Amino acid sequence: MGKTDVRDPGTVAGQHPGVRYRAFDLMEAGPERIGEMLAEVLGLFEQGVLRPLPVTGWDVRQAPAALRSLGQARGVGKNVLLLPAPPDPEGTVLVTGATGTLGRLLARHLVVAHGVRHLLLAGRRGGSADGMPELVRELTGLGASVTVAACDVADRAALAALLGSVPAAHPLTAVVHAAGVLDDATIAGLTPDRLDRVLRPKADAALALHELTRDLDLAALVLFSSGAAQFGAAGQANYAAANAVLDALAAERRAEGLPGLSIGWGLWEERSAMTAAVTAGRGAGAGALTSAEGLALFDAALDSPYAYRLAARIAPSVLRADDRLPAVLRGLVRPARTGAASAAAPARSMARQLADLPEAELYRTLLDLVRGNAAAVLGHSSPNLIRPARPFKDVGFDSLTGVELRNRLVSSTGLRLPAALVFDHPTPEALARHLAERATAARPTGDAAVRAGLDTLETLLDALPPDGVSDELAARIREVLSRPLPGGTPATTVRPAGDAPDLAPDLIEAASDDEVFDYIDRQLGSA
């Protein structure tokens, strides 16, 4: 089928015996036959013989990333831009784990800051939990309709009944899953019961909420995860695993075009039954969030186009002092600056090194430089992952990462390079050849090159040790400096350090009286 790149039927038949080729217009079948074919295709979908193409959803605020992914052919199926929907003001918001400390804080915040008027608060203890009667009275006084239910959200049947109790006049519009428990133990001490105790209220309940609400028109499904899933915490392997499920679920829902957000929380100052025994500062560089900070971060995450947000207080100074820093946090640490001069030294030394390299070695060195910097920009662990002949765009470079690579090369080589460098020279080897040409062209030639070399030689001679040099080195210096110059210009001979230099006889003949006496005065003075 198809009329793009039309082939010759005879050629196709000769190359592929038994194959008959024909290009045609689909409309040639006629409207009636097209209708029959479409009906047959729909029947195959209903029977499960065919499945729809996968759909990857992108928040409309991520349109540049979506188009970049599409342009680089990274996706399979359909890419869809999604418009974030505000919650229905007449809808009901379900909060699980609402009888806990954070659940109560959140319920109050939803009413006061977000104007929610219909709350369904679910927890295993229901209205008998500490502080719930007072909370209900407070929220009711603020004009909200509050229902408190005792429900094990991980129990699918109980959850289905709870969702079925939501009145049609105020349909479910958002869910915040804040339930969870801790049962810390080392790996050796983990048992199936301890795993289930932690995974059930977090992961099992989240999956049940996902499946039972996926056909509802939700504006938000927010999962309270933990930073432990990202950088680990001693004794919390089961808790980290449970929260990793939440993080993955939110990403999967976003990809399917459903609302999903997982917030990886750090420690809160407001203590709950879960965190009563946790000491402040536990974790990598972590401090405790005040209630106001935590709720502000909740609002910021809610307005974010991403499926995951880490909400924690992290002190870079503490991270810098941690010799066991998790890899995911290393990008937050910047080495201490020792001054502008030392920061600029590596760039100057690299540029000087390139200037001194023979042309035969220059290309190889620049290719290593390009591959190393390209790997660093893409976050690869080794430059071996950047093949010399593979185009930059095929390994993930776009306009932003291309400019970052160009900036790194400018800093290293000292050359002035255009922003579109990786597009003008699309492979590492092509770019290295271009840099070699630029570096070679920038080298001084003629008298300028000789002067530059003499400056270097003078610097080296000034650095000779005061107690003299080896006979071998002295002979080498003497041999180089006594070579005749082009055009018959006389040369100068030298002795090792410590000996008075002699003027060559032909140079003495050419010197004036003043020059000879000046030379004698200098030697007597040095003696």
Yes or no: say if 81 and 58 are a contact pair by the CB < 8 Å rule. Answer: yes
Is a pLDDT exceeding 50 seen at residue 341? no
Burial of 134 (0-12, 13-18, 19+ CB in 10 A): exposed
Residue the block writes with tokens 């003497």: 478
For residue 455, name the pLDDT band (cuts at 50, 70, 90).
Answer: low
Is a pLDDT exceeding 50 seen at residue 222? yes
Q: Can you tell me the mean pLDDT for 305-334?
A: 75
- For 349-361, give one letter per residue: b (16+ CB within 10 A) or e: ebbeebbebeeee
DSSP conformation class of 496: -
For the chain, percent helix, then strand, then coil, each to nearest 5? 50, 10, 35
Q: What share of the chain has pLDDT > 70, as a percent? A: 76
454 sits in which H/E element: helix 446-462
Question: Hey, which of 178-187, 290-299, 440-449 has the most confident mean pLDDT?
Answer: 290-299
* 385 compared with 301, residue with greater pLDDT: 301
Q: Can you tell me the mean pLDDT for 69-82?
A: 85
Query: How many Å apart are CA 11 and CA 383, to the nearest integer?
Result: 45
Is a pLDDT exceeding 70 seen at residue 267? yes
Query: How many Å apart are CA 264 and CA 328, to the nearest integer?
Result: 13
Is a pLDDT exceeding 90 seen at residue 415? no
Phi, psi of 145 (to 5 degrees): -95, 120
Question: Hey, which of 165-169, 320-324, 366-370, 515-519 has the most confident mean pLDDT?
Answer: 165-169
For residue 1, name the pLDDT band (cuts at 50, 70, 90).
Answer: low
Is a pLDDT exceeding 60 seen at residue 361? yes
Residue the block writes with tokens 């009286």: 513
Is a pLDDT exceeding 90 seen at residue 120? yes
Which of 93-102, 104-113, 268-277, 363-372 shows the lowest mean pLDDT across its residues?
Answer: 268-277
Query: How many Å apart are CA 443 and CA 147, to the nearest integer?
Result: 79
For residue 347, name the pLDDT band (cuts at 50, 70, 90).
Answer: very low
Question: Hey, which of 186-190, 247-251, 328-332, 457-461 has the most confident mean pLDDT?
Answer: 247-251
3-state SS, 39-54, equals HHHHHHHHHCCCCCCC
Is a pLDDT exceeding 60 seen at residue 314? yes
**Nearest in space to 206 (alpha carbons), one of 170, 180, 237:** 180
Yes or no: say if 214 and 229 are a contact pair by the CB < 8 Å rule. Answer: no
DSSP calls for 61-106: GGHHHHHHHHHTT---SEEEEE---PPPTTSEEEEETTTSHHHHHH
Query: How many Å apart are CA 49 and CA 316, to the nearest integer?
Result: 55
* 90 compared with 450, residue with greater pLDDT: 90
Q: Can you tell me the mean pLDDT for 21-28?
A: 82
pLDDT per residue over 184-195, tens digit each? 888 888 899 999
Yes or no: say if 211 and 252 are a contact pair by the CB < 8 Å rule. Answer: no
Q: Can you tell me the mean pLDDT for 353-360?
A: 71
DSSP conformation class of 445: -
User: Rounded to a whole number, what is the distance in angstroms from the first to the last CA of the chain?
Assistant: 99
**Nearest in space to 122 (alpha carbons), one of 146, 150, 156, 101:** 150
* 131 compared with 334, residue with greater pLDDT: 131
pLDDT per residue over 153-168, tens digit each? 999 999 999 999 999 9
For residue 447, name the pLDDT band (cuts at 50, 70, 90).
Answer: low
Q: What is the pLDDT of residue 516?
A: 62
C-alpha dihedral over 240, 242, 245, 250, to 10 degrees? -90
Average pLDDT score, the chain? 82
Is a pLDDT exceeding 80 seen at residue 356? no
Query: How many Å apart are CA 90 and CA 85, to the nearest integer?
Result: 14
Is a pLDDT exceeding 70 seen at residue 456? no
- Write out the two tokens for 325: 């820093």
Is a pLDDT exceeding 50 seen at residue 340? no
Burial of 285 (0-12, 13-18, 19+ CB in 10 A): buried
β-bridge pairing 118-123 and 145-150: parallel
pTM above 0.75, yes or no: no
Is a pLDDT exceeding 70 seen at residue 101? yes
- Write out the two tokens for 184: 């810390």
The dotted CATH code for 340-441 is 1.10.1200.10
Is a pLDDT exceeding 50 seen at residue 78? yes
For residue 399, name the pLDDT band (cuts at 50, 70, 90).
Answer: confident
pLDDT per residue over 475-525, tens digit each? 777 777 777 766 555 555 444 444 444 545 555 555 566 666 666 666 555
Which of 80-94, 426-440, 441-455, 471-485 shows the lowest mean pLDDT across its residues?
Answer: 441-455
Q: What is the pLDDT of residue 320?
A: 65
* 70 compared with 451, residue with greater pLDDT: 70
3-state secondary structure of 222: strand
Q: What is the pLDDT of residue 11?
A: 93
**Nearest in space to 148 (alpha carbons), one of 514, 157, 134:** 134
Q: What share of the chain has pLDDT > 90, as a percent? A: 42
Residue 268, strand partner residues: 289
514 sits in which H/E element: helix 513-526
The dotted CATH code for 92-331 is 3.40.50.720
- For 114-125, give one letter per residue: b (16+ CB within 10 A) or e: bebbbbbbbbbe
**Which amino acid would we find at residue 465?**
P
Q: What is the pLDDT of residue 108?
A: 95
Distances in Å between the Cα of 454 and the Cα atoms of 448, 450, 460, 461, 491 are 10, 6, 10, 10, 14
Domain boundaries, the chain: 1-51, 55-83, 92-331, 340-441, 468-526
Alpha helices, DSSP H, located in 221-339: 228-231, 237-255, 291-302, 316-320
pLDDT per residue over 458-479, tens digit each? 666 766 776 677 777 777 777 7
